[in-house]
Structure 1
């Protein structure tokens, strides 16, 4: 078995014909056919059912294709590592972490990985909402950590942990809204600013926020630090990850509220995300596997 034979076989499967495979990998059609026949003869199996108009994988062919894809992915990762080593330096591990996802769970998992690879450089960028998936699409990072915004069949993702999200306001502002305890009806908040972090995706026309009142004032900021500062000083109300406001809740600077017919409180899943058809670098692949194993250990 040779890598060129495996590449030829994969090309036939992915393009749907021997002719298209030859064009895709710049080989002659007879050489593609010969490569597949050599594989079939070597293992005494039939990879394609040739009775149909287009070559269709047999049961054995489907199993062989699945392992072939894994093999070629590993080969590409090895080639990337070889180039990095030849240059004398390893490229940094490029991560994008959603602004909402810097919880203790995330930091402990990242710290555990870093302790196992202390010699590696890690390049971390932050984004928000759909900006996280856009960061992957633009190849600014290889792996992202964040909520499920903008994810579709182009992405592979694994849940790592969950964060608790609550709705908070300053006690002075709450008192001015005539609440019943800590409960409010939406119209009581229409004249009070709902403070939101901007959607950082360039190609999104809408705000990207899922939890909004149908009407009312809205203020937008660039990060959670500004958002929390405005909340503490009584400029408005907002949903916040609980871990970000624990100190303010303990001191009484912020208080939780419940809004009728509004998602005031929930558990938000945080995912590790990559592009499904992208071959990860050696560093990113190790990170993906390590975080996946860590997440599985944490599951109840």
Structure 2
């Protein structure tokens, strides 16, 4: 090869820092090393990159034309180097999360994860029947985030991340949407659409019973059923907040519990006996510090219970 990455690095950093000496300090090298690297690069390319007539290095037209490509080459080299460092550090090639809550709640952590570990792939699984603990216990997921279960196996560790509000909704054209305060008897007269794990795992009461009940293990399917008007549904309020704000779905203010919010804890779950690598440990610690809470339609917190 006629040129080296060290020469390209010297060129890019000299432009970024404004002088040979500043680039040398940034790289921990001598000024003469940087000057020589750029001189050899100019010889290899047969062009002059900087004007030498001024005290501060100024790009020539050729130098300006080559700068964009040099930066791209330098950035790719940095990415390649970091990927190698990640493999040498035995960082996981991929991480699997079992997520049973609206994913928007954990998006800030995932964005930070993407920036910090760009070479670790992320797999997000929808827990079967909403039970993230099964995937974690079977080592099919490193971490789980889901609504609480009445109890966990001793092999699992858990941490409450916060609480989310479960709400009962119906399409605006559904008969229940026209009732200001539906009674238990009125609810029982119409089809209930429910997330399958909620019927056995979450705190419930008699008003959730209906003469007809359709179950699904997909929030997406449950929301679609509610929007179609096929029944009244029990869903995380955060998941259908846009539909509530637009008026497509109407929250049912129950006659017996007009001011009672049904708050359900959200737990972070991990396998106690599993050896966690540096990436998994970082993600576990970061999730433990990340609060899950209700957010109003204007983006403001409405509930923050820990």
2:185 corresponding residue in structure 1:
187
1:266: how far off?
A: 2.4
2:77 corresponding residue in structure 1:
none
Q: 1:143-184: CA deviations, max 9, x gaps?
A: 1111112524332112223322211111221358x73x2x11
Q: Could you say what secondary structure the match of 1:164 adopts? A: strand
Which TM-score applies when normalising by structure 2? Answer: 0.58
Q: CA, structure 1 residues 230+155, in 2 after alignment: closer, same or farther (shift >3 Å)? A: same
The aligned length equals: 206
CA RMSD of aligned residues (A): 3.2
1:278 aligns with 2:274: yes
Matches within 5 A, 1:139-218: 139-149=139-149, 150-174=151-175, 179=179, 181=180, 183-199=181-197, 207-208=200-201, 210-211=203-204, 213-218=208-213
Q: Could you say what secondary structure the match of 1:225 adopts? A: helix
Which TM-score applies when normalising by structure 1? Answer: 0.59
2:225 corresponding residue in structure 1:
230
Which runs of at least 4 in structure 1 moved beyond 3 Å after TM superposition? 84-90, 206-210, 260-265, 293-296
1:113 aligns with 2:113: yes
CA contact (8 A) 2:192 2:210 kept: no
Give unmatched runs, 5+ long, in structure 2: 1-85, 293-303
CA contact (8 A) 1:91 1:121 kept: yes
Give me the whole-angstrom Cα distance separating, in 1, the residues matched to 2:249 and 2:108.
27
Q: Could you say what secondary structure the match of 1:151 adopts? A: coil
Q: 1:256-297: CA deviations, max 9, x gaps?
A: 11234569732322221112232223321121122224449x
- Structure of greater Rg: 2
Give me the whole-angstrom Cα distance separating, in 2, the residues matched to 1:140 and 1:239.
28
Q: CA, structure 1 residues 167+128, in 2 after alignment: closer, same or farther (shift >3 Å)? A: farther
2:82 corresponding residue in structure 1:
none
Give unmatched runs, 5+ long, in structure 1: 1-83, 201-205
Give me the whole-angstrom Cα distance separating, in 2, the residues matched to 1:95 and 1:172.
37
2:283 corresponding residue in structure 1:
287
Moved more, 143-152 or 206-215: 206-215
Match of 2:95 among 77, 93, 98: 93
Q: Could you say what secondary structure the match of 1:184 adopts? A: coil
CA contact (8 A) 1:192 1:237 kept: yes
CA contact (8 A) 1:129 1:147 kept: no
CA contact (8 A) 2:135 2:141 kept: yes
